[in-house]
Each structure stands twice: as C-alpha cells, then as structure tokens.
Structure 1
Amino acid sequence: MQTVNFKHLPLQAGDTVLDLGCGEGRHVILAYLEQDVTAIGVDLSLQDLQATQEKFQPFYEPDNANKSFGLSSANALQLPFADNTFDKVICSEVLEHIPDFKGALQEIERVLKPGGLFCASVPRTWPEKICWYFSEAYHKVEGGHLRIFEANKLKAQIEALGFKAFHRHWAHALHSPFWWLKCLFWKQQDSNWLIKQYHRFLVWDLMDKPAFTRNLETLLNPLMGKSVVLYFKKELN
C-alpha cells in the first residue's frame, strides 16, 4: 500500500534514498523500482527486514550496476550514516510510534543533504481520534501509536529544523472505516463478519485497482484520508 507519491518526491538517477522505519519494505522497494537509485531501508524489527528481503527478491536486477538495495537494523535516534548522506528520506507511518520523535527528526535532518527532499506521513488527526475513542487497546498495545499528531503543528516542528514544506496530501480514505470497525469491535475483530468482508474488499482494491474505487478514494482522501502526507525540502546551508 503506497502512501508516498513519487510525483512529489521525484527520484533522480544516482540518488541515495532512505526509507526510515521501512517495515516490510513497501516504499524502499518502490524506490528501487522507480529509478536507478541506491535504496536503503532501516527498521528495528529483524522480522520485518527479513520480510522486506523476501519481497524484494523478485525485483532484484543483478545486471543493473546503476541501482542497489540495502537493509539495516538501526535505531532512528542513532542512524549509522554520515552527515549529508541521502538525497531523499521517507518516514511513513513511523513517527507516531517513536517516543522521542523529535530526536528522529533531528537525525533525518542530519543525514539528509542540503537541498534534499523529505517526506513524512502520519495518521490524520480526526480519523485517529475516532480510533482512540472506540478502543483504548488500539493505542496501548505494544508498538502502538503514542500520540495523535496535528498536521500543522508537525509541519511547524519540521520546518523549525531547517526544512521548507512544499506539498501536502491525504491518503487511504477507504482504510479509515476499516480501522474504525476494528477498534469498535476490537475484542472480536478476528471473527467479526463485517470486518472480514471489508478486509476482502480492501485486498481486492489493492490487487485489482479498479477505476471506480481508485477514483472514489481520490475524491474521499481530502475528507477522510487516514494519513496526511507532508513533503519538505531541506534548506541550503
């Protein structure tokens, strides 16, 4: 499920790209496929990194010396990279999980080259508040969401580090009702018929990409997109 739109984070041949908190690799693999880049995924979870490696294998281009792919287990507060290493940094649906998210943002600023681009996405405020209202367990489980972000406040916090915001959009409107249902029926979510049917619908939409649902989500994203996606440029020194 792609959250970052590479139209707003254009990759150039030769770029070095970091996907911080890559999970099972959705964006780091897409970056590798998008352009001749060095794509690096970082996550704390070895299990997720293993899943990323397995998902990546069918797309590996061993004969293309102009692109490469790498994974690393690392803490977002102590990234194992030199200053000004990356041309692009992605941090999608990660900051809400990190206790010291400001420290993670400082690390992103450190490893991103001056003039480089940064994309951050977090859960949108009001759909997230509904999830928290319906289920306390939703945000108190291990690895759960530690905070609800306000997009304008997060934008200002990132800009205070030396970035300039240049675009914003919303994503995954069709997923908002799914998570509301999961939270409403939290204890029965694995057996609830309605949740199962909605999940089947989302899988069908993801795999088949029918024009009707793609257009519907595009229309609904500004109203009820589950994620807000912010794009920044690091100012030149």
Structure 2
Amino acid sequence: MVDQSTIAHMTRNEADMAFKKRVQTIFDWVNPQDDSLVLDMPCGRGFYLNMFNYVSDCTIVGAELDWPIIKKAQANIGHLDLPLHNANLYHLPYADNTFDAVILSEILEHVDDDVAGLKEALRVLKPGGVVVVTVPHANYPFLWDPINKTLETLFNTHIQNGIFAGIWANHVRLYTMEQLREALLGAGFLIEEERSFTHHSFPFIHNLVYGLGKPILEAGLLPGDMEKAANRLTFDDNDGSPWNPINIGLRVFNFFDRKNTMNEPEGRSTVNLAIKGRKPHVGT
C-alpha cells in the first residue's frame, strides 16, 4: 500500500482537491505490486502513469483515444519509456484476461455507451482483477460550479464547452451512485467498495483551475518557479517557497479542503463518485 505521505508529496502541486482524492482512491484500490500489470484508460497527459512509475515497479500501460493528447503524454513522460497506445475504450487492443487492474478515471461520462466500455474493461481484466471507476457526481456542490448549478436549477440546462463549462465540460452525463452501480453490474462486475468525495471547495475552483489555470500553464506563460509549483508532474521540483504565488493559492485551496473526507455521508453533494469493481472468477 502506498503510504499517505507519498500520496501527499505526489499531489503537493495539485489545485484540484477532487483530483487529490481520486489519486488516493486509485492507489488505495489498485494497490500496485511489483508484478502487477495495470491499464490506465484514458491516460491523458500521463499523470497517473508518472505517479505509478514513481512509487512502484509495476508495469503501467497508458491508452488514449486522442492523438494530440498522446503527443502531450509523450512530451511529459517519454523519458520514462512507458507503453502508450492509441486506443478506443470500445475496442481495446489487448488480449482477454491481460491486466490485474484497469483504471477508468473520468471517462465514462464522455462515452455514449458506458456499459459497452465497461464490458471491454472486463474482457481485458484477469479473473479477480480490479476496475477503479471515477465519475463526476450529478449532485455536485454549488461552489464547485455555481454557473452550471444555477442554470440547472433555474432553467434545466448547462454549459458543456468553453471556459464556463465547469463540471459539464464535454460530458454526455453526470452520475448518481445508483446509475454508476447499475452500469458496473450491467457489465458483469462485482462491486466491492464505493466512495463519494469532495464536498467543500473554493468558489468557482473548476473554472479557475481548468478554464483559466490549465491553458496558462500549457501555454508556458508561468515563470520557472511558478510553473514548477503548478505542474502535476514536477512535484519533486517545487521548493515550497511560502512567497510563491502558486503555493499561496494552493494553501488557500487546501484550507477549504481540510474538512473533506475520503467518503462523505450519503446524500451530501460531492464532486466525484468512485466504485471499485472486480471481475468474477469463472464459476462465481
């Protein structure tokens, strides 16, 4: 099991408090061993691949649909020489019963047929293998995305694209726990554990981090020390200066996060839902 201090170190540059909880959840449930074979789909820019490589000798494989994102992952973590594959969730290029664990973090909300995607994950998992799924919660906190929450409440609509898209950015749906549970059961998984997390947050944090901060970071507009403190990949390089504006902002965001737990009470608004599923052994 990866210890809490290591998780805290790897997420010390993180402004998205829900992402920090996702990292903790994924490592808790995958629990990588040196002989584990793990698939991260979609691997995005390589953040989870980098973390798994940092803490374990397991084999971590990245799969991603979008070529431009694969190119960014190669630029970020190419020096680690990890497998990166162009792949569609509906048709993964792997044999049956290949992986010990599959990470499906923030993908099901993007696809039209989530059960079909989960069935493909089930196919490539070994019997007894684990799937870790995280999705955005339909009952999300007002302060996380006030614009969309107001639009949903008053006009039954939301913004899906652009700087104001918030939690709905490019998403087909948000989930209730019942909907997520039904999708995994429908695909053939056994459900072992559920979590719902990140209730308290800085106002408009999703828009600030992803609508404003991410484009500035990726455009290379931050000075060196600020960039090192803002980049998820450079947690070892942040000198922790209390005068760095990024570190000041992170302390503010962490102040709001201090009351959050890894699993909030049922019925409470949260940013994310997570489920740990397991592929049944033959005959079970």
Give the TM-score category using the shorter length.
0.7 to 0.9
Distance 2:139 2:58 in 1: 36
Q: Residue in 2 aligned with 1:51?
A: 72
Aligned residues: 213
The CA deviation at 1:181 is 6.5
Is 1:176–1:225's contact at 8 Å kept on the other side of the alignment? no
The CA deviation at 1:221 is 5.1
The CA deviation at 1:104 is 0.8
Secondary structure at 1:229 match in 2: strand
The CA deviation at 1:176 is 7.8
Q: Map 1:62-141 to 2 at 5 A.
A: 69-127=82-140, 131=148, 134=151, 136=157, 138-139=159-160
Secondary structure at 2:95 match in 1: coil
Q: Residue in 2 aligned with 1:235?
A: 280
Q: Map 1:188-227 to 2 at 5 A.
A: 204=247, 212-218=255-261, 222=265, 223-227=268-272
TM-score (norm 1): 0.75
Residue deviations 1:165-209, cap 9 Å, x none?
Answer: 111223344558426777xxxxxx76xxxxxxxxx9xx6489669
Q: Residue in 1 aligned with 2:56?
A: 35
Identify the match of residue 193 of structure 2 among 167, 178, 191.
Answer: 167
Structure 1 residues not aligned, in runs of 5+:
61-67, 183-188, 191-199
Which amino acid is 1:225 matched to? T
Distance 1:28 1:176 in 2: 28
Residue deviations 1:71-127, cap 9 Å, x none?
Answer: 111111111111011100001111011112221111101101100010001111211
Which amino acid is 1:113 matched to? K
The CA deviation at 1:13 is 1.3
Distance 2:97 2:254 in 1: 41
Distance 1:121 1:85 in 2: 22
Residues 1:111 and 1:220: Cα distance change in structure 2 (over 3 Å): closer
Residues 1:39 and 1:220: Cα distance change in structure 2 (over 3 Å): closer
Which amino acid is 1:134 matched to? L
Residue deviations 1:18-66, cap 9 Å, x none?
Answer: 11112112222222223111111111112222222222256x3xxxxxx
Is 1:74–1:80's contact at 8 Å kept on the other side of the alignment? yes
Percent identity reads 26
RMSD (CA atoms): 3.4
Distance 2:43 2:109 in 1: 14
Is 1:176–1:224's contact at 8 Å kept on the other side of the alignment? no
Q: Which moved more, 1:82-91 or 1:24-33?
A: 24-33
| 1:154 paired to 2:197 | no
Q: Say which structure is richer in strand.
A: 1
